[in-house]
Chains A and B, each alone.
Chain A
Amino acid sequence: QQQVKQSPQSLIVQKGGISIINCAYENTAFDYFPWYQQFPGKGPALLIAIRPDVSEKKEGRFTISFNKSAKQFSLHIMDSQPGDSATYFCAARGKSTFGDGTTLTVKP
């Protein structure tokens, strides 16, 4: 049973638009929800993370929205840029569980 479900699988956004990636989790014991960005041939890099005691966290153009009751969290990338084109993974701490990834393409 996959513990973290991520959607969409791929996303195409125009430059300047908002990219939204969603994740849902099962285990209420998870207490830390990071998002990672991965470029081809590279390891994932921590982008932003949130704990369940807050509903939103913003760092620059990146925002995590967290809905504890729905067991969902999402990544919003404002003013998306071509350099944001990468694969994004959500995760949940407990057993280092990752979503399947979302390939984001930002068109110039």
Chain B
Amino acid sequence: GAVVSQHPSWVICKSGTSVKIECRSLDFQATTMFWYRQFPKQSLMLMATSNEGSKATYEQGVEKDKFLINHASLTLSTLTVTSAHPEDSSFYICSARGRAVEQFFGPGTRLTVL
């Protein structure tokens, strides 16, 4: 299957700071990228969907000003958690889809906000 990378794999930050997470499709062009949030022992919660070159579509209840998503190229999408607070601590996972229907996931980023 196709490979999707995420960076960093884990990050610890102080409350009030912003954190950027990168998601890259390494061997295919991702026309659509998805960002998920996952709490321990829970399912994946879709936060937003982004298509290359256009604004992300956020799910209901997700603050777009807090979770900034940029999908500037066919291989890179970024999620920036602005003014992070302890309740933003979670496992963030991106996935990417090219022209085919299959969706490939990154390894996830563990965010801990102190």
Residues of A at under 8 Å CB distance from B?
A: 32, 34, 36, 41-46, 49, 89, 93, 95-101, 103
Contacts and interface: CB of A to CB of B under 8 A. Distances in A.
A41 B10 CA distance: 10
Given A36-B105, A93-B101, A96-B34, A43 B93 contact: yes
B105 A43 contact: yes
Contacts of A32: 101
Nearest to A49: B102
Contacts of B103: 34, 46, 93, 96
Main secondary structure of the interface of B (DSSP, over half): strand
A44 B46 contact: no
Contacts of A93: 101, 103
Contacts, number: 49
Interface of B: 1, 4, 6, 34, 41-44, 46, 49, 91, 93, 95, 101-108, 110
B102 A98 contact: no
A44 B93 contact: yes
Given A41-B108, A41-B110, A96-B34, A46 B102 contact: yes
Contact of B43 (A42, A46, A98): A98
A91 B37 CA distance: 16
Given A43-B93, A46-B1, A96-B49, A101 B105 contact: no
A46 B102 CA distance: 8
Contacts of B93: 43-44
Nearest to A45: B105
Contacts of B44: 44, 89, 98
